[in-house]
Amino acid sequence: MKNIKGPAIFLAQFAGSEAPFNTLEGMCKWAAGLGYKGIQIPTWESGLIDLKKAAKSKTYCSELKGLVKSYGLTITELSTHLQGQLVAVNPAYDVMFDGFAPKEVHGKPKARTKWAIQQLKYAAKASQNLGIKAHATFSGALIWHTMYPWPQRPQGLVETAFKELAKRWKPILNAFDDAGVDLCYEIHPGEDLHDGITFERFLEATGNHKRCHILYDPSHYVLQCLDYVSFIDIYHERIKMFHVKDAEFNPTGRSGVYGGYQGWVDRPGRFRSLGDGQVDFKTIFSKLAQYDFDGWAVLEWECCLKDSEQGAKEGADFIRDHIIKVTKRAFDDFAGGKPDEKLNKKIIGL
């Protein structure tokens, strides 16, 4: 049996323009001071990493690792959530998603997609140069706007969309395969990969690509009333990353899953700091230990109520307290020993 590693923290929701959150060194010092052992780096934050340089320079990657290590930390994974989103964008979302891309490709969907695909390929090589074995991203979405079938979806629309989605991602998956890195899609509302069935559709469309895997985040499953524990039983062989994020779902007579276009604090489904929501993390950590998950437990903070720094401080202890040091022996090993066929036959009356 294997041990989960941690605690680690995803820096995306904490990075900013003010010290210590505007440099990698500043964030390393901050995270280490809170008791974290690893950091997950968002590659769109240029103050934390130069993704293209990391893809091309092993020297630069050695310097990054050395800086992080000097604070007693490890780079757990890189993230291209925003770039991955842009691999597949329905025209209805062009204006809003342009904000995730450089200004030179705004209003140019084909150029934006080409840029995003190159970013993912850089991330594959950068991960390899950093000695990282898994990478986090989003799938993007071509048909999310048809998620609720009204008007009815035309026959074959889903099949065509997933065929196109796989066509865009297979060269990227191949690049990750060449780099020896697993590509982990965060199963997330707003993406075409938003639950188990859609992940299975995509996996099949890619020819069951061996680098196509899952970033497991139970908070998104709570919000869509999906059984997040059974999800681990079904997909544990494909779960290669873990975001530790809490959530709660409290439907009323006025609003439910869809949230009524309300802000996060007023929605029935909302994200919370660790321990403040409804996610059963004791069972989740037990399940992951049962299936020999040996990746990192990474805090992702998105609470609608609690201050981020308080959430980060509490999160390190929360994760540490939930990590199970797996046993090296069964409680009844004392009754074992070498098989005695003669004795066994005697016991069953032979």
Q: Residue range 308-313: average pLDDT? A: 97
Confidence at residue 73, expressed as pLDDT on a 0 to 100 scale:
98
Domains of the chain, each with CATH number or no CATH? 5-347 (3.20.20.150)
**Percent of the chain with pLDDT strictly greater than 70:** 98
* Residue 163 three-state SS: helix
Of 122, 216, 214, the C-alpha closest to 176 is 122
Mind listing the pLDDT tens digit for each residue in 195-235? 999 999 999 999 999 999 999 999 999 999 999 999 999 99
Looking at residue 173, its amino acid is L
Token couple for 149: 């079938």
Confidence at residue 228, expressed as pLDDT on a 0 to 100 scale:
98
Confidence at residue 330, expressed as pLDDT on a 0 to 100 scale:
66
Q: Is the pLDDT of residue 155 over 90?
A: yes
* Residues 6 or more apart in contact with residue 288 via CB below 8 angstroms: 4, 232, 236, 239, 242
Mind listing the pLDDT tens digit for each residue in 71-90? 999 999 999 999 999 999 99
Q: Residue range 8-31: average pLDDT? A: 97
Token couple for 283: 């069972």
- Residue 132, class by beta-carbon neighbours within 10 Å (0-12 exposed, 13-18 middle, 19+ buried)? buried
Q: Is the pLDDT of residue 132 over 70?
A: yes
Of 274, 240, 265, the C-alpha closest to 34 is 274
Q: Is the pLDDT of residue 334 over 60?
A: no
| 322/95 Cα distance (integer angstroms) | 42
More confident residue, 337 or 92: 92
Q: Is the pLDDT of residue 332 over 70?
A: no
pTM, two decimal places: 0.95
Confidence at residue 331, expressed as pLDDT on a 0 to 100 scale:
58
Q: Is the pLDDT of residue 8 over 60?
A: yes
Confidence at residue 74, expressed as pLDDT on a 0 to 100 scale:
98
Confidence at residue 339, expressed as pLDDT on a 0 to 100 scale:
86
Q: Residue range 120-134: average pLDDT? A: 98
More confident residue, 33 or 327: 33
Looking at residue 75, its amino acid is I
Mind listing the pLDDT tens digit for each residue in 241-293? 999 999 999 999 999 999 999 999 999 999 999 999 999 999 999 999 999 99
**Residue 109, preceding peptide bond in cis (omega within 30° of 0):** no
